[in-house]
Chain A
Amino acid sequence: MEIESTNPTRHPKTHPRAVTRRRALQIAGLGTLGAVAACTNTTGMTNGPQHVTRGNFKLPDTKLPDRSIKFRLTDSGDQKAVFWKSFAKAYEKKHDNVQISYKALDWPDLDQSITLGLRNGSVPDVFFLPTTVTNGQAVSEKWIGAWDDIIPNWAEVKKRFPDGTFVVGKTDFNGKTYAFPLTSAQRFNSLVFYNKQITDRADADLSQPLGWDEYRQLLKKITKQGDGKYYGTIMGLQQDGAGFSSVMAQMGGIGGGIGGIDWRTGEYNYTKPLSLEAVEYLLAIYADGSIAPGSVSYKEADAKGRFPQGQAGFLIQGPWNISPWRDQNADFTFDFTIPPQRDPKDIYPVGYAPGGSNQYVYNPHTKAPKMVADIISYMCTKAGQAQWASIDGAADPAAFPEAIEEADLSSLDAKAMKINSKYEVLAPEPSVRNPDVEKVYEVQKPLEPDFGDVCLGLLTGQVKGGVKKALNDLQDRANKALDEAIATAKKRGADVSRDDWVFKDWDPKKPYDSTSTK
């Protein structure tokens, strides 16, 4: 088993992940973590009945070719690396002619190395596509193979997955499945983590969701108590200036978030009054001095690396931090809740796109197709998914809900899973209804500056004229970019129109009935 890792950071869309340098080092030294995790209750958080023994893989008795087989797997790492390391050890033990080489790359590195690999035909056997390549593009360029071609009874295997996992235009093309979503996209990525020592000192009651004003006052109080040693909250605004406001607005009723689209009308949400309020709320907290100095120049990895050091009371981040913080910071006691609410009595869920998450694809020229099929087939079983859920926890929720029920989860992982179920709903996705929409995505020019940049610019005073003007400008530019992309895609043969972005029957509080291909 070979394991390599750089410093995985947050993926902009379907894999919002990030780790610190310490985390990367931990990944590199994970030889014993599976066993340690299985027998160690680091903070007294082990939860409920344990149906599955973590790391005890019951692998199928597949007969692989007798020759020596080298298998290469690359993904974005984080907690996934913990799983694959543990799995590789078990697999190599069962098949002594197999050597698994696993590589965890951060997203910028993955974008560059896999892009080059696709061009020169040197991609690993199984890998993640870079963010710069759409699945449809990879299929039409013949860069990836169809799972139907190597996994026996693939049509039957697909039926084990929940609705919305396999969808045309996301995972399936030309009647075949090319992208295998190993995990569920139903993951709440904006948990409000809090340092219990600091919030206890401030007598904060976090048993119920806080209102916007309550949260603001609490941040002020913590900042005052910190007296320069710690602050109300810390943020990685250089990387994600948009996250805070967007999730606030989304849970207040802006379906799709500020930078997203209201599927009922097909219009962007930038200019909605609640979007304006949410951005102004961020500015108000900043003006209060409640955001730790340096946050405007921090990336997410900086903020989440400083948070366990007691530099702030709160940090909005994803559930992938639970295991690293717990395992690496023995003195750090933390918990989490959902973000503050504009109206705690009327909370809207956050939408997630169909097509699952952590989509693995395979190299059609792999020299080990049987082994690729064997591994992915195992991950399509309840046993494989339960092991995934036990090791990966809430970082990347397993695709099978029943596997999560059987998994060996810590109390915090279990809590995060409950939040996933309660506050995440399946949202519409234009490319599912019309696969030609992917061709629009391929040519849609990114907004420059985007919503995150604009928030940062407003905070630092570089964007002049006020929030309303800035959001109006974003709305105009987003519409123009989408319209231009549609026009270009149409010129190049796509059958698309702006109507593809309209779902009149969408209710933001209910899961949208996606077109499933299973």
Chain B
Amino acid sequence: MTSTLSQLATHSRPTVSQHLGGRLWSSRQSYLLILPGVVLTVMFSIYPLVMSWYYSGLDWDGFSSRKYFVGLANYKDLIADGFFWRAFGRSALFTVVATPIELALALLIAMVLNDRSLKLRSVYRAVIFIPVVTTTAIISIVMSFIFSAFNSPPNQVLMDLGVVDRPIDFLGSPKTVLWTAIGIFVWKWVGQPMIYWLAGLQTVPTELHEAARVDGAGGWQRFRFITLPLLKPFAIIITLIVTAGNLQVFAFFQTLTGGGPYFASELMELFIYRMAFGTSEAGASSVQRLGYASAAGVLFGVALMIFGVVQTLMLRKIRRAQLQQSPSQQEQG
């Protein structure tokens, strides 16, 4: 038996050159079809990634011909830079707070709008989705007026009700700026996961709900034991998409707060931008620090990679658990 298999293996294994060349040639059409994708990925993902590693080892302003290799000095400076870590922490806080709120709120809205008996539900969907397609900068500018300390509607209401005697500077106070921004951000983007949830909810068979209702299950029980388990695969993907989106908030914060006051809303992307393109009043010129900004980008990228790997491992674990659960349920059935 063993000799037969080894004979087969020897027989069927071509030489390396025949194998590779032959495979390449026979699959030439496939390779040709993926070539544009490969070229674009190399140009716009791989090359910038590799170059940012290279730049992170330089003392370079990003445009002059003079570049100085400084090894790991930028990383050393970054590790001692309190503003970097605070921006890092704010990015993490923003993601950890905004993502669950956005997901939960979107699910709640989706469930309400999934009720076929609800009149004008398509209108409500459109109204909730409009901020998603509205330009971020426009939203931020309008919101900076709405939440202004001077003659803004929320302040007028609060002052008329006697809740405060002086207007609150929602975007100018370090205590309120990040939370106000999170509120505006969730309002703007909640329509997107809402659409995803709606798509997921529409895959839940109505017969299951009807059967559960006949068996006496209440609304919460139906949600807990029917909707939620069936939505789990969707939830994982939606969480991934929303989390990735919530880490890319540069335009939103740059136009809403500019990272202020006193860096209180400076997230990682704004920090990197400030280092790479910022100006200053020191000396006769300001200094762009592309090397330093690249190092910050690399460190943040590594953190995101770790986050991504952890998420993937968790995803696999959940899937494995689901697969193990299904046969056992079948056996029980």
Contacts and interface: CB of A to CB of B under 8 A. Distances in A.
A447 to B, nearest CB: 6
Interface residues of A, number: 61
Contacts of B65: 141
A446 to B, nearest CB: 3
Interface in A423-482: 429, 431, 437-438, 440-453, 456-457, 460-463, 478, 481-482
Contacts of B179: none
Interface in A97-123: 107-108, 111-112, 115-116, 118-119
A299 B169 CA distance: 14
B220 interface: no
A449 B262 contact: yes
Contacts of B188: none
Interface stretch (A127-135, A206-214, A414-422): A127-135
Given A132-B279, A445-B282, A456-B260, A293 B64 contact: no
B325 interface: no
Given A293-B167, A297-B149, A449-B262, A460 B173 contact: yes
B261 A119 contact: no
Contact of A440 (B62, B144, B283): B283
Contacts of A438: 284
B174 interface: yes
A292 B148 CA distance: 11
Interface in B6-60: 59
Contact of A460 (B59, B68, B167, B174): B174
B300 interface: no
A490 interface: no
B264 interface: yes
Nearest to B256: A297
B282 to A, nearest CB: 4
Contacts of A132: 61, 63, 277, 279, 285-288
B171 interface: yes
Contact of B83 (A107, A293, A444, A448): A448
Nearest to A242: B281
Contacts of A237: 261
B257 interface: yes
A446 B287 contact: yes
B263 interface: yes
Given A294-B148, A441-B283, A238 B258 contact: yes
A111 B279 contact: yes
A453 B262 contact: yes
B203 interface: no
Nearest to A312: B150
Interface string A47-60: 00000000000000
B278 interface: yes
Contacts of A293: 149-150, 166-167, 169, 172
A446 B286 contact: yes
Contacts of A131: 279, 285-286
A463 B167 CA distance: 23
Contact of B63 (A118, A299, A431, A456): A118
B262 A12 contact: no
Contacts of A297: 144, 149, 169, 171-172, 177, 257, 260-261
B273 to A, nearest CB: 11
Contacts of A308: none
A450 B262 contact: no
Given A456-B260, A457-B262, A461-B174, A443 B287 contact: yes
B173 A12 contact: no
Interface in A480-511: 481-482, 485, 492
Contacts of A447: 280, 282
Nearest to B81: A448
Given A115-B63, A238-B258, A445-B287, A450 B277 contact: no
A198 B286 CA distance: 39
A238 B261 contact: yes
Given A296-B261, A456-B262, A462-B262, A13 B281 contact: yes
A340 interface: no
A231 B166 CA distance: 12
Contact of B261 (A13, A133, A451, A460): A460
A446 B278 contact: yes
B260 A12 contact: no
A259 interface: yes
A500 to B, nearest CB: 12
- Among A108, A137, A306, A448, max chain B CB count under 10 A is at A448
Nearest to B83: A448
Residue among A238, A481, A482 having the largest count of chain B Cβ atoms under 10 Å: A238
Nearest to A491: B68
A295 B261 CA distance: 10
A481 B59 CA distance: 15
A86 interface: no
27 contacts: A12-B281, A111-B279, A112-B277, A115-B62, A132-B277, A133-B63, A134-B285, A141-B64, A237-B261, A293-B167, A293-B169, A297-B172, A297-B260, A441-B284, A442-B61, A442-B285, A443-B287, A444-B283, A445-B287, A446-B279, A446-B281, A450-B281, A452-B281, A453-B263, A456-B261, A460-B172, A462-B264
State the 7 A-B residue pairs at the shortest beta-carbon distance, nearest first.
A446-B280, A297-B172, A294-B149, A293-B149, A441-B283, A457-B262, A441-B284
Interface of B: 59, 61-65, 68, 83, 144, 148-150, 159, 166-167, 169, 171-174, 177, 257-258, 260-264, 277-289
Given A107-B279, A228-B159, A456-B260, 7 more contacts: A13-B281, A131-B285, A137-B285, A431-B284, A438-B284, A448-B83, A460-B264
Interface of A: 12-13, 107-108, 111-112, 115-116, 118-119, 131-134, 137, 141, 228, 237-238, 259, 289, 292-299, 306, 311, 353, 429, 431, 437-438, 440-453, 456-457, 460-463, 478, 481-482, 485, 492
